[in-house]
Structure 1
Amino acid sequence: MAITNPRKLKSNQQEWFHYRTGELHVENLCLNDIAREVPTPFYCYSAEAMRWAYSILSDALSPIGVSICFAVKANSNIAVLRLLSECGCGMDIVSAGELERALTAGAPASQIIFSGVGKTRAEIARALEAGIHQINVESAAEIEVVAEVARSLGLRATIALRVNPDVDAKTHAKITTATRGSKFGIAIDDIPELYARAAARPELNVQGLAVHIGSQVQDLSPFRRAFAAMAALVTALREKGLEVPRLDLGGGIGIAVGDNPGPDIAEYAAIIAETVGNLGCHLTVEPGRWLVGRAGLLVTELLYLKDGQDGPIAIVDAGMNDLVRPALYDAKHPALPFHQAKGAAASPRYRIVGPICESSDDFGAYEGLGELKAGTLLAFDCAGAYGASMASTYNSRDLVAEILVDGDHFRTIRRRQSIREMLELEDAGDWQSGSAPARKAAG
């Protein structure tokens, strides 16, 4: 299926990405001016778009007492984390590396939640020493390890138990996290016994429950089912005399793509209020894509055109190593031409592919781009989440740069990492001898 531009950008349209005098702008800057200074491919973010997204979500959720923690895995750039932290946003992390990024960005440790199924002892220790808000534990085995680490440090670990409620979010299979058989969370039926056992441990401060059903969720009804299940579980635990002061509702709110306007945030807030709003719990949500997805573009240059079986193939300099979502999740990122297309309706249907030596390095078929030629600059839209944070150096390609625009200024917030710098990481070390094999004792 060919993709057309979902925003229907028009001249003088007041939006972060808009056409002015026929040229694509980011806020008040012509994107072409940035591209003259920064080699493609590169990511370009709008600061105002992120502030807007946070304000919309905060305005809807603050009246019902919900705190917001940004899912750092969506975009872990320090400048992005600093911007959101300055807005008042907390952080949801899934590694010690993300913890260091959040702290470096100025996020208070008391507003950081540590999620993820495979935390190491060293990561748990670092989180406890930093004094984060809570650790979301995802198995009985992890509960034991957290208790052991806390005891060794002479600390008490604040935890929440992540619940797998067996709710299908009706999204892509690779970003669905709360169905039976998923690696995430603890089966809902096992929670009461584990919660009681954990609450009895002196090393643990059990503060509540957590849930996360998936990513890019467009239909809000799975949220209602999951949150209703959590409400029933909270009630059941309290009936057993257990305290449940906190409830972490996870993230997963989708964004508008194509003709889909995306979920209604007012309806999302209403679902939270109606299902868990009367429990007296401190509520938290952990959006990632919602806060940054629409704030980013991936800028690329068209290198070659060639004839294909179903029309022209446009080969660009951005590849799946720069933006892996199309290859990994079958994601479709709309493409915006730098120069507003004239006669777009009559223009060819282009298949846009990258330079990586993989058949999956294919961004899809696009219409309405006008006539393309070598040297044409394009921008893949809605690329602010799970773009740069998932980028790699596959095929020994440079790691993509990141640019932040704020009003009529821009700056590099991550410089391009060259092959020369990568080769320096592979300087040969000294050979070391292993332990000699043990000799068999004489009989």
Structure 2
Amino acid sequence: MNNTEELNTPQLSGNFKKELLQEAADRFNTPLYVYDLDRIQKRFNELKQAFSGRKALVCYALKANSNLSVIKKLASLESGADCVSLGEIKRAIMAGIPKYKIIYSGVGKQDCEIKEAIKLGILFINVEGKEEMLRIEACSKELGIPARVSIRVNPDIDPQTHPYISTGLKENKFGVSIEEAKGMYLYAHNAKFLEPIGIHFHIGSQITKLKPIAESAQKIAQLTRSLLALKIGIKFFDIGGGIGIAYSKENTIDLYDYAQAILEELRGLDVTIVCEPGRFIVGNSGVFLTKVLYQKENQGKHFVIVDGAMNDLIRPSLYEAYHQILSLKNPNAESASYQVDIVGPICESGDYLGKNISLPLLEQGDILAILSAGAYGFSMASNYNTRPRCAEVAIEGGEMRLVRKRECFEDLIALEKEYL
């Protein structure tokens, strides 16, 4: 197994050795998220190296995992940031990412958010539609500051991923058609307070096949050439993110092939490539730890009740997503002896972390490690059932530190109690 495959595979290795994870559970209690910052660095550098020799900017997608210490680590590696809210922009800046490396994406930007982004001087705003572009123009005119923009073009390519995380088809809410984009670019080019400098596409998340990405790049590169022929100064070619990871035994995209497919379509174009990885960098760089509370059997169906729940890790409930689950006491798959459902304390039948999971015999207090939990784990957590969100811990160079303390009941009611 080469280094690339090892980094892209869920396993207890590197800073995720069972002894270190058990120590984390003992020191910081459970449920608990643990991140391997060394692995994050390797993943980032791997992607950066794939585009070496061309002008390129890797903008980490904060929505995957917005912990400030994770972002700070990436900032130290000269990462940019892909943000989908003003809050994420502020997090990126606070963690040390330069404003000129920040992109503002996403549907439903409010005027106050647009104005703040323009005043901050970020790299550009990704425009999702004509009406949004007109709002950006109005905000820019009011401020007297031209807005740098990129238009998100929908190539209408099936990314062959889960429908909830598909974004590049015409029935999705994101972006505009190629034909509509042409008219928008011409308008922006002639507008005093709009500066169209980029073009953007992003067809979905957890993509494990290269063909949809290559086909999308081909379509958008053709559009870019036609815009440049009209003297519209496109400087940035934003290919989005969405490269999938292995949650189990999925075949994933080879980074060399990925980069070469993009570069082939951009042959002869003098543009800076922008990519927006999230899951690729942090997905297999995070583990969720949870403790066995009880076990029960209902007419032959065996349940293991743990202290973690769907409010902590919602992907299994929301997407029917699979996460490999191991017992820290005996992580070898060969020792698995019975099939169980791993369920939490939330008052919902959909509250589960794994179904029909093969595990060795468990006892109360045993720690389970849920792998591939670094992306869309804590960032999608909630306080449903008035459950405090768990703590987050980072391990770097074998050293462990708390990067977000566990919430308490007082944190949950802080914004309400004065109104009683």
Q: Does 1:162 align with 2:152?
A: yes
Q: Does 1:116 align with 2:106?
A: yes
- The secondary structure found in structure 1 opposite 2:417 is coil
Q: What is the TM-score when the length of structure 1 is the normalising length?
A: 0.90
- In structure 2, give the amino acid aligned to 1:414: R
After the TM superposition, which residues 71-110 of structure 1 pair with which residues of structure 2 at under 5 Å, given as runs?
71-110=61-100
After the TM superposition, which residues 51-62 of structure 1 pair with which residues of structure 2 at under 5 Å, given as runs?
51-62=41-52
Which residue of the partner structure matches residue 16 of structure 2?
17
- In structure 1, give the amino acid aligned to 2:283: G
Separation in 1 of the partners of 2:384 and 2:345?
11
Separation in 2 of the partners of 1:170 and 1:360?
25
1:377 equivalent among 353, 367, 376: 367
Which residue of the partner structure matches residue 396 of structure 2?
406
The alpha carbon displacement at 1:208 in A equals 2.2
Given that residues 90 and 111 in structure 1 are in contact (C-alpha distance below 8 angstroms), is that contact kept between their aligned partners in structure 2? Answer: yes
Separation in 2 of the partners of 1:36 and 1:295?
20
- In structure 2, give the amino acid aligned to 1:133: L
1:199 equivalent among 177, 185, 189: 189
Which residue of the partner structure matches residue 229 of structure 1?
219
Separation in 2 of the partners of 1:200 and 1:191?
14
Given that residues 313 and 353 in structure 2 are in contact (C-alpha distance below 8 angstroms), is that contact kept between their aligned partners in structure 1? Answer: no
Which residue of the partner structure matches residue 36 of structure 2?
46
- In structure 2, give the amino acid aligned to 1:95: S
Q: Does 1:215 align with 2:214?
A: no
The alpha carbon displacement at 1:310 in A equals 5.2
* Residues 289-298 or 417-426, more deviating: 417-426
- The secondary structure found in structure 2 opposite 1:322 is coil
Given that residues 312 and 377 in structure 2 are in contact (C-alpha distance below 8 angstroms), is that contact kept between their aligned partners in structure 1? Answer: yes
The verdict on how the C-alpha distance between 1:283 and 1:9 changes in structure 2, with shifts beyond 3 A counting, is: closer
Separation in 2 of the partners of 1:154 and 1:245?
23
* Runs of 5+ consecutive residues of structure 2 not aligned to the other structure: 1-7
Which residue of the partner structure matches residue 268 of structure 2?
278
The alpha carbon displacement at 1:373 in A equals 1.7
Given that residues 204 and 242 in structure 2 are in contact (C-alpha distance below 8 angstroms), is that contact kept between their aligned partners in structure 1? Answer: yes
Q: Does 1:324 align with 2:314?
A: yes
The alpha carbon displacement at 1:344 in A equals 3.9
The alpha carbon displacement at 1:264 in A equals 0.9
Given that residues 227 and 272 in structure 1 are in contact (C-alpha distance below 8 angstroms), is that contact kept between their aligned partners in structure 2? Answer: yes
The alpha carbon displacement at 1:196 in A equals 0.1
Given that residues 398 and 419 in structure 1 are in contact (C-alpha distance below 8 angstroms), is that contact kept between their aligned partners in structure 2? Answer: yes
Which residue of the partner structure matches residue 313 of structure 1?
303
The alpha carbon displacement at 1:151 in A equals 1.1
- In structure 1, give the amino acid aligned to 2:124: Q
- The secondary structure found in structure 2 opposite 1:117 is coil
Separation in 1 of the partners of 2:87 and 2:10?
39
Q: Does 1:298 align with 2:297?
A: no
Given that residues 9 and 246 in structure 2 are in contact (C-alpha distance below 8 angstroms), is that contact kept between their aligned partners in structure 1? Answer: no
The verdict on how the C-alpha distance between 1:298 and 1:8 changes in structure 2, with shifts beyond 3 A counting, is: closer
The alpha carbon displacement at 1:428 in A equals 3.6
Given that residues 218 and 262 in structure 1 are in contact (C-alpha distance below 8 angstroms), is that contact kept between their aligned partners in structure 2? Answer: yes
Which residue of the partner structure matches residue 5 of structure 2?
none
After the TM superposition, which residues 337-352 of structure 1 pair with which residues of structure 2 at under 5 Å, given as runs?
337-341=327-331, 344-345=334-335, 347-352=337-342
Given that residues 333 and 380 in structure 1 are in contact (C-alpha distance below 8 angstroms), is that contact kept between their aligned partners in structure 2? Answer: yes
- The secondary structure found in structure 2 opposite 1:63 is coil
Separation in 1 of the partners of 2:319 and 2:337?
28
Deviations 1:191-219 (Å, cap 9, x if unpaired)?
Answer: 11111011110001111211100000001
The alpha carbon displacement at 1:346 in A equals 5.4
Given that residues 64 and 277 in structure 1 are in contact (C-alpha distance below 8 angstroms), is that contact kept between their aligned partners in structure 2? Answer: no
The verdict on how the C-alpha distance between 1:346 and 1:53 changes in structure 2, with shifts beyond 3 A counting, is: closer
- The secondary structure found in structure 2 opposite 1:306 is strand
The alpha carbon displacement at 1:424 in A equals 2.2
Q: Name which one, 1 or 2, has greater alpha-carbon Rg.
A: 1
Given that residues 344 and 368 in structure 1 are in contact (C-alpha distance below 8 angstroms), is that contact kept between their aligned partners in structure 2? Answer: no
Separation in 2 of the partners of 1:216 and 1:160?
24
What is the Cα-based RMSD across aligned positions, in Å? Answer: 1.8
Which residue of the partner structure matches residue 3 of structure 2?
none
Matched residues, number:
413
- In structure 2, give the amino acid aligned to 1:63: G
The verdict on how the C-alpha distance between 1:156 and 1:378 changes in structure 2, with shifts beyond 3 A counting, is: same
* Residues 344-353 or 281-290, more deviating: 344-353
Separation in 2 of the partners of 1:334 and 1:193?
47
The alpha carbon displacement at 1:406 in A equals 1.0
- The secondary structure found in structure 1 opposite 2:53 is helix
The alpha carbon displacement at 1:391 in A equals 0.5
Deviations 1:35-59 (Å, cap 9, x if unpaired)?
Answer: 1111210100011010010111111
* Residues 255-264 or 328-337, more deviating: 255-264
The alpha carbon displacement at 1:64 in A equals 3.0
- In structure 2, give the amino acid aligned to 1:162: R
Separation in 1 of the partners of 2:231 and 2:175?
23
- In structure 2, give the amino acid aligned to 1:196: L
* Runs of 5+ consecutive residues of structure 1 not aligned to the other structure: 1-5, 19-23, 431-443
Which residue of the partner structure matches residue 289 of structure 1?
279
The alpha carbon displacement at 1:368 in A equals 4.5
Separation in 1 of the partners of 2:356 and 2:47?
32
1:125 equivalent among 90, 115, 121: 115
The alpha carbon displacement at 1:308 in A equals 3.6
* Residues 233-242 or 179-188, more deviating: 233-242
Runs of 4+ in 1 over 3 A off after TM superposition: 6-10, 308-311, 341-346
Structure having the higher helix fraction is 2
Separation in 1 of the partners of 2:60 and 2:363?
40
Given that residues 61 and 67 in structure 1 are in contact (C-alpha distance below 8 angstroms), is that contact kept between their aligned partners in structure 2? Answer: no
The alpha carbon displacement at 1:189 in A equals 1.6
Separation in 2 of the partners of 1:119 and 1:416?
31
Which residue of the partner structure matches residue 438 of structure 1?
none
